[in-house]
Amino acid sequence: MSLVLSGRKYARVVRASLRDRVNGLDGSPPGLAVIMVGDNPASRVYVGAKEKACKKVGYSSRVICLPAEVTEKDILSLIDELNADNSVHGILVQLPLPDHISDDRIASAVLPEKDVDGFHPVNVGRLWRGEDGLFPCTPSGIVELLHHHDIAMSGKNALIVGRSNIVGKPMAALLLRENCTVTVAHSRTVDLKEQCLRADILIVAVGRAEMIKGGWVKHGAVVVDVGMNRNSDGKLVGDVAYDEVSSICSAITPVPGGVGPLTIAFLLENTFKARSKLPVK
Ligand code: NDP
């Protein structure tokens, strides 16, 4: 039987620790501002969950909803205001943005010290250079989940399937910092199965229901499933065929209850960290 790496349980531990740290603070609590553009139902759910999570740990949060027709210039001036506001320690712009707005220009406008998503080029550079900074929440949560379960990373062969800027690439940088030997696979990778079979740590972030089968995984590997997909029955499943793989690997994250809850927990961690780097009001 493999060990189930429950992100849901670990996220509770993280939130309890944050509540204690918030209670011990002098001055104002950490403050998060979330900008949402348009009325995407999934974004509404995510933003609502972030607001609720902030409340639970005693943060102040502000959600600013803008119409889909808002201009990029107007969003940039709002970000300028939030950059200058001492009660706001973290700024997050909920993706996706409408096509007429550049994700890159928006990410670069947020002050790196308030960039709790870790998308600003300065933070990306700090991550790859091995410097301190704010790093993307999902991969940060994964590394801490593995530490929490005392999973050895140094010297291990890690394969990351997926090379997005949000998950795959920052995951690669973070595992390099943990002294893994890192390979990144993507849609043009030749013989993905062979690559997977070599991995001691396999992280999958593709977005294809149950694409990683039992016969693709090395005995005793640690498997982290980032994917969130609906299968043909409408059930939420990951990128890994859980039932097949869990009898082969030594540890695995379930879907749901695995990586998902870590993302918001580490958004809260990043906001706390951002507050401690900025002058306290
Ligand atoms: P993207 O669509 O941005 O990236 C997907 C990656 O998978 C790309 O690099 C793509 O390669 C690669 N890929 C696609 N098909 C294959 C294939 N057949 N074989 C190998 N690689 C392939 O996705 P994200 O990184 O944003 O998200 C991935 C999944 O993780 C999604 O299900 C998403 O919902 C989930 N997710 C979950 C989060 C959570 O909190 N639990 C947070 C973020 C994401 P190429 O670059 O060549 O196109």
Please say if 80 is a catalytic residue. Answer: no
- Alpha-carbon distance of 19 to 221, in angstroms, equals 34
DSSP 114-165: GBTT--SHHHHHHHHHT------HHHHHHHHHHHHTT---TT-EEEEE---T
For 4, phi then psi, to 5°, come to -90, 120
- Alpha-carbon distance of 279 to 281, in angstroms, equals 6
- The pLDDT assigned to 278 comes to 61
Phi-psi region of 179 (alpha: psi -120 to 50; beta: other; left: phi over 0): left
80 Cα–ligand 1 center, Å: 31
pLDDT means over runs of 10, the chain (281 residues): 96 98 95 97 95 97 98 98 97 97 98 98 98 98 98 98 98 98 98 98 98 98 98 95 98 98 98 82 45
Collapsed DSSP state (helix, strand, coil) of residue 274: helix
Q: Are the C-beta atoms of residues 161 and 204 closer than 8 Å to each other?
A: yes
Report the residue among 137, 188, 228 best suited for mutation to probe ligand 1: largest number of ligand atoms under 8 A from its CB.
Answer: 228
CA 10, 12, 13: angle at the middle one, nearest 5? Answer: 65
Please say if 50 is a catalytic residue. Answer: yes
Report the residue among 5, 164, 211 best suited for mutation to probe ligand 1: largest number of ligand atoms under 8 A from its CB.
Answer: 164
- The pLDDT assigned to 1 comes to 82
Collapsed DSSP state (helix, strand, coil) of residue 35: strand
- Of these residues, 9, 85, 115, 117, which one is catalytic? 117
pTM above 0.95, yes or no: yes
Residue 37's nearest CA partner among 92, 104, 113, 117 is 92
* CA distances for 170 relative to 81, 139, 142, 176, 281, angstroms: 28, 7, 11, 10, 32
Question: Could you give the domains of the chain?
Answer: 27-111 (3.40.50.10860), 137-260 (3.40.50.720)
- The pLDDT assigned to 150 comes to 98
- The pLDDT assigned to 281 comes to 45
Residue bearing the CA closest to ligand 1, atom 31? 207
Q: Are the C-beta atoms of residues 257 and 8 closer than 8 Å to each other?
A: yes
| 8-state DSSP, 280 | P
Which element (helix H / strand E) includes 111?
none
Q: Are strands 90-93 and 201-204 parallel, antiparallel or unpaired?
A: unpaired
Please say if 94 is a catalytic residue. Answer: yes
Round the CA-based radius of gyration of the chain to a whole number and report it: 19
- The pLDDT assigned to 155 comes to 98
Residues with CB under 6 A from ligand 1: 138, 161-164, 166-168, 185-189, 192, 205-208, 226-229, 259-260, 263
